[in-house]
Amino acid sequence: MSKKNTGKIGVLLVNLGTPDTPETPDVRKYLREFLLDKRVIDINPVGRFFLINGVIAPFRAPKSAVVYKQLWTERGSPLLYHGIDLKEKLQASLGSDYFVSFGMRYQKPSIKSALEELREQSVDRIIVFPLFPQYASASTGSAHDKIMEIIKDWWIIPSINFISNFCNDPGFIESFAELGRKYLAEDNYDHVMFSYHGLPERHILKGSDHGYCKLGSCCNSYNKRNQYCYRASCFETSRQLAAALGLREDQYSVAFQSRLGKDPWLKPYSDEVLKTYPEKGIKKVLAFSPAFVADCLETTIEVGEEFKEMFEHAGGEKWQLVESLNSNDTWVEAVKQIILKN
């Protein structure tokens, strides 16, 4: 017997994913699902299969497992429990007219299980909110792709609204700026770095609006032609954050981290840029990772620890990571307002 229609609006929060445990078999399983996604590694399917299963997953999994063990807490993976905390706080804030679910693009809880929760509630419509501030085909696009793949088999498909980009949303910007101001009030930093997850340059060019993108000054402004360009969105977030923090243009840098393989990725590279700071007299750096709304391996370990070690080895004195938004109250309110707008 079907449940009575409640008239609720379903909200689906989506993040990337995490291994079930930090042990090598689970990390390998996660890497395989993640890297076999055609939107992540966009090469010939046969070549992708052998590259991932024959080279990357077998050799990278043991190394990544070591890092995941450093990241793991008593509650498990930060990306997972911060997502659950956000879901619960958002549910309480939105109230009974909404039903909030949370799913991961890769591994558990799956997008499919999160969508089933919404279907069980007989929601009238669904607002899909991938937690990626800057649109990229490999993140937001992949989440939307998976959702459509699942929902196409439903007999009744409710109205669905996809939120694709919130790179300059005022609430999102203020949430990060609020965290940054706390550190800026505690010390005099010489420079601020905004470090974003990188992408192959070909991903940017493939999504270009009739050749608009030149991987250069075209990102100096944010407009209708580049609103779904990941690079342009990163620069827009940085400009908005810098303005909110009262930074001049010469007081901050934008760079890209986490590159993989030999193909050209978005430049400049964070790890190369930070090594040049000390010789320029930049000894104290405040680092943001505004592509991530929840702390994870790329923030806590890569930016927070590995970059810190590189910076100090190059002669730097202080490297401070600004934590991600996680489930702090300002961010919960920002998410709520984005939902209400949609």
Distance CA 282, CA 274 (A): 9
For residue 168, give both structure tokens: 């300059």
SS3 content of the chain, % helix, strand, coil (to 5): 50, 15, 35
DSSP H helices in 210-261: 230-245
Order across the sheet with 159-162: list the strands.
98-106, 9-17, 125-130, 159-162
- For residues 103 and 114, give the distance between their C-alpha atoms in angstroms, rounded to a whole number: 5
Question: What type of residue is 342?
Answer: N
- State CA 14 to chain mean position distance: 10
Alpha helices in 169-229 (DSSP H): 170-186, 201-206
> Is 197 one of the annotated binding-site residues?
yes
Which residues, other chains included, contact 112 with Cβ-Cβ below 8 Å and sequence gap of 6+?
A: 103, 150
Element (DSSP H or E) covering residue 10: strand 9-17
Check the CA dihedral 41-42-43-48 and report its sign. positive
Q: Is 298 annotated as a binding residue?
A: yes
Residue 100 β-bridge partners: 11
Tokens 């939107």 correspond to: 39
Smallest Cα–Cα separation from 96: which of 121, 131, 120?
Answer: 121
Closest-CA residue to 40 (of 114, 132, 129, 143): 143
| Contact predicate 58/28, CB 8 Å | yes
Q: Which residues contact 297 (CB under 8 A, 6 or more apart)?
A: 64, 67, 68, 71
Q: Tell me the binding residues for Fe(2+).
A: 197, 298
Q: Tell me the binding residues.
A: 197, 298
